Amino acid sequence: MNVIDSYLDTLFAPYPDSARMREARSELGAMMEDKQQGLLDDGFTEPQAIGKVIAEFGSLEEVAPVLGISTELGGSSFAEAQEPSHVSPERAEEYVAAVRRSQWMPAVAVPMFVLSAVPLLLLFAATGSASPQPPPWATGTGLVLLLVMVGAAVMLLVARDAKLGDFSDLEEGDFDLSPPVRRFAKDLKRQNRRAVAIAVAIAIMLWILSAVPTILAGLAAEPEGTGTLYGVSLTLMMVALGLWVLLRQGWSDQAADNLLKESEDEDSPDWSTSPAIRAIAALYWPVIVAIYLAWSFIWGAWEISWVLWPVAGVLYAGLWSLNVAVGRHPEGTATGRSSA
């Protein structure tokens, strides 16, 4: 393959393959080849000739109308999926409004995953001190509530995806970013910068302070008692409250970043595009609760098992950072979305 061939390959790569495109590729290739030969005959060196041929090639956009690229765009769903589409400012506004309208769904659903264990913990705390084993009705009710909450949260997230289904091209960055849309998204971000900063600050403060109830309860509770569970419940509520504050305000950055094809604020594992990370994030807290309860009840280790919570918190932060570090181009869709 020579330089001219690879040059044409690069130029034609974004366009759907069709008979007309192949014909244009071959005829333009023949023109360049002839021209290169003509220049070589005139005494140019090979690099000079190639440079001149490419400089005098022109632009493929000029050829687009006669190639019917625009008709092929609307012609088949395959071409539609392959070709970046144009997004009008009106559609961008509709998208932002849709994200904003449905933002309560993830803002409620994600904290629900964290809170799902709280009824179980509270039931154990309320009944646990009476006997070494919690009564079966408490375990049963708690587990049912846990499953109901996880199920409701999953349904909310699925419903959210469905609501934004019409805008999947925007969410996946499959479009051409025009200057008016870029301006609109930047404005949206600027107007909400203060609110986002406040939400992030509140959330981080809540997460840092969330360790306090568990640690205090762990230190204060009698070794065999289940008093620590109140502290743990409070910790989970603070984590959930932080997530709610953060996610509620997350619509503006999420919408703007998708329009700008950036994802610097999608650092939360809960928003990650990687299904594996999403699954881990959703199951993380329920699994931690299960481990904590098993450890506490089966080995009767109440005096020490609360240590699990600070450890789990640090691990969660680690998972988050790992997602930021490696989750940059899941499924190859987010290449070029990197941020510093």
Partner 1 sequence: MIGADAIRGHIDLILLAILETRPSYAYELSKTITDRSRGEYVVKQTTLYTAVKRLQSHRLLDSYEDVSSSGKPRTYYKITPDGHDQLDAKRAEWRSTRALVDHFAEGQDTA
- Does residue 28 belong to the site contacting partner 1 (CB under 8 A)? yes
- Does residue 63 belong to the site contacting partner 1 (CB under 8 A)? yes
Residue of the chain from 1, 13, 66, 298 that contacts partner 1 (CB under 8 A): 66
Residue 62 or residue 90: which is nearer to partner 1 going by CB?
Answer: 62
Residue of the chain from 6, 37, 48, 88 that contacts partner 1 (CB under 8 A): 37
Residue of the chain from 21, 40, 60, 290 that contacts partner 1 (CB under 8 A): 60
Q: Which long-range contacts (CB under 8 A, 24 or more apart) does 97-104 make?
A: 98/163, 98/164, 98/166, 98/167, 99/164, 99/251, 99/254, 99/255, 100/251, 100/252, 100/255, 101/163, 102/160, 102/163, 102/164, 103/247, 103/248, 103/250, 103/251, 103/254, 104/248
d(CA 192, CA 132): 52
Residue 58 or residue 336: which is nearer to partner 1 going by CB?
Answer: 58
Residue 50 or residue 334: which is nearer to partner 1 going by CB?
Answer: 50
Show contacts with partner 1 in window 38-57 (CB under 8 A).
38, 56-57
Residue of the chain from 7, 16, 18, 35 that contacts partner 1 (CB under 8 A): 35
* Residue whose C-alpha is closest to residue 257's, from 181, 180, 156: 181
DSSP β-bridge partners for residue 84: none
Residue 33 or residue 80: which is nearer to partner 1 going by CB?
Answer: 33
Residues in the chain: 340
- Does residue 34 belong to the site contacting partner 1 (CB under 8 A)? yes
Residue 61 or residue 90: which is nearer to partner 1 going by CB?
Answer: 61
**Which DSSP letter does residue 176 get?**
E
**Selected range binding partner 1 among 21-29, 86-94, 140-148, 236-244, rule: CB under 8 A:** 21-29
- Does residue 5 belong to the site contacting partner 1 (CB under 8 A)? no
CB of 86 to partner 1, least distance (A): 21
Q: Which residues contact 220 (CB under 8 A, 6 or more apart)?
A: 227
**Selected range binding partner 1 among 33-41, 175-183, 185-193, 247-255, rule: CB under 8 A:** 33-41
Residue 175: its H or E element: strand 175-176
Residue 31 or residue 283: which is nearer to partner 1 going by CB?
Answer: 31
Residue 57 or residue 295: which is nearer to partner 1 going by CB?
Answer: 57
Cα–Cα–Cα angle for 211, 214, 217, rounded to 5 degrees: 140
Residue 33 or residue 161: which is nearer to partner 1 going by CB?
Answer: 33
Question: At 229, which amino acid appears?
Answer: L
Residue of the chain from 4, 12, 32, 263 that contacts partner 1 (CB under 8 A): 32
- Does residue 30 belong to the site contacting partner 1 (CB under 8 A)? yes
Residues binding partner 1: number (CB under 8 A): 21
CB of 31 to partner 1, least distance (A): 5
Residue of the chain from 43, 47, 58, 179 that contacts partner 1 (CB under 8 A): 58
Question: At 166, which amino acid appears?
Answer: D
d(CA 271, CA 274): 9
Helices (H), the chain: 3-12, 19-41, 46-55, 60-67, 69-75, 77-82, 89-102, 104-115, 118-128, 136-163, 168-171, 179-209, 211-220, 228-248, 250-260, 275-298, 302-305, 308-326
Residue 18 or residue 178: which is nearer to partner 1 going by CB?
Answer: 18
Helix axes 19-41, 46-55, angle to 10 degrees: 140
Tell me which residues touch partner 1 (CB under 8 A). 24, 27-28, 30-35, 37-38, 56-60, 62-63, 65-67
